[in-house]
Amino acid sequence: MNSERDFVLHSWCVPAEWNAPTVIGGRGARLLLEDGRELLDMSSLVECSNLGHQHPRLVSAIRDQARRLSFVTSAWGAEPRRTLAQRLLELSGFEGGLVFFTLGGADANENAVRIARLASGKARGLIVTRDRSYHGASYMDMALSGDARTAHQVDAESWGVRHVPPPYSYRCPFASRSPHDCGDKAAAAVADCIDTEGANSVAAVLMESNAGSNGIVAPDSYWPLLRELTRERGVLLIADEVMSAFGRCGEWFAWQRHGEQGRPDIMTLAKGLTGAAVPLGAVVMSAAIARRIEHQMFYGGLTYSGHPLSCAAGLAALDAYRDENLIERSRRLGASLFEELRKLQSRHAVIGEVRGGHGLFAVIELVADPVTRAPLAPWPQQSDQQRALLRAALDEGVSFGSRGNLLIIAPPLVIDEGDLAAALALLDRLLGRFFPSPRTEQIK
């Protein structure tokens, strides 16, 4: 049988080196492979299949909508598009605002910048983002990102983007010993950047409101302070919620953990918006932003903006999150997951830090030395031992998410609790096999 690599150029790979199993189906948190095996999906397939695989409500909604109306251009109205926009505004407390639908997270972020520049009256206004962030792989999004995969491909400054250091308290770029202090200094760095450039020149700050694929979870004080400092300067705040929304971090939207103190002006969504059943992204803007642009021409559009099939899936996903109490379940399981991972940290010297605890999204940073915090490999490279661990897990039927020296634990919100426990037990065993040094020093 020919390999798929003979016909398809895949994302983020050297084409000749691509080698992955073929998935033919799924149910719940499990993937069914062409060779007859099953895999327990502990990463929600790049943190997007929040509702697991082949959720019956999503399948039914797509089928039923296809029978009624498969497509209509966004120049015309569509009932599922209108209803989904209304529901998103209600869930976020952005009543009176507007929603612009996209195909995914990358074009949501790019259009959020376009809308922020329009609403601020700064057509060429600067956008402040942070190092080691990821907002997509279009040229504009690569400029917005501080990601090692994309930064070398564009000149961010020529795209009107300025980067600041991240709130990475484990390796604080400000040399702070306290996570709280590191978060405060990272927020202050954003304010300093705005002040240096001049607030009249800066249209918006775009930040991930919780962890992304960078594995950085900001200290609790960071986001509210960032909101305060941007508001004081009259600069819009865009929350990139592409990965963190829809229960992934224990709330409908991660910024809601901070209440009104964390409310952005604009937020971007994708991934869990449809449980990844079909492509859909969204830019959700406040009533104040909507008022600023309602009499201006919006020079932007997508053929499939608010596609009826996608919006029908989005509505079904929102119903599933609500009716199955998955936001609360993520929060509860996430707290117990974090406790179990801390127990692993107490046994394995290779675990430098465990981050998360807000929902079913946790990050394990692996290190060569827990005292010096020397990484296993320079970021974003991956050590041979870590690759061997991941292969061994696949051989035993579990797929863990990983990037660089990080393990990312983000299973579907519907995962069986017994399966979650079994996956953590396997991880415990594999850490002992591939990184046999036990922890001797006390963790803090």
Domains of the chain: which residue ranges? 4-54+325-434, 58-323
Whether pLDDT at 219 is above 90: yes
Maximum pairwise Cα distance, the chain: 65
The CATH number that domain 4-54+325-434 falls under is: 3.90.1150.10
Range name among 3-17, 46-60, 229-243 with the lowest pLDDT average: 3-17
Predicted model pTM: 0.97
Which backbone phi and psi does 105 adopt, to 5 degrees? -70, -35
* pLDDT value at residue 440: 83
% of the chain with per-residue pLDDT over 70 = 100
* Distance of alpha carbon 213 from alpha carbon 244, whole angstroms: 10
* pLDDT value at residue 1: 65
- Residue 199: pLDDT band with limits 50, 70, 90: very high
Question: Cα 84 from chain centroid?
Answer: 21
Whether pLDDT at 441 is above 80: no
* pLDDT value at residue 366: 98
Residue 385, burial from CB neighbour count under 10 angstroms (0-12, 13-18, 19+):
middle
Average pLDDT over residues 307-329: 98
* pLDDT value at residue 38: 97
* Distance of alpha carbon 271 from alpha carbon 279, whole angstroms: 8
- Length in residues, the chain: 444
Whether pLDDT at 289 is above 90: yes
The CATH number that domain 58-323 falls under is: 3.40.640.10
* pLDDT value at residue 212: 80
* Distance of alpha carbon 389 from alpha carbon 371, whole angstroms: 23
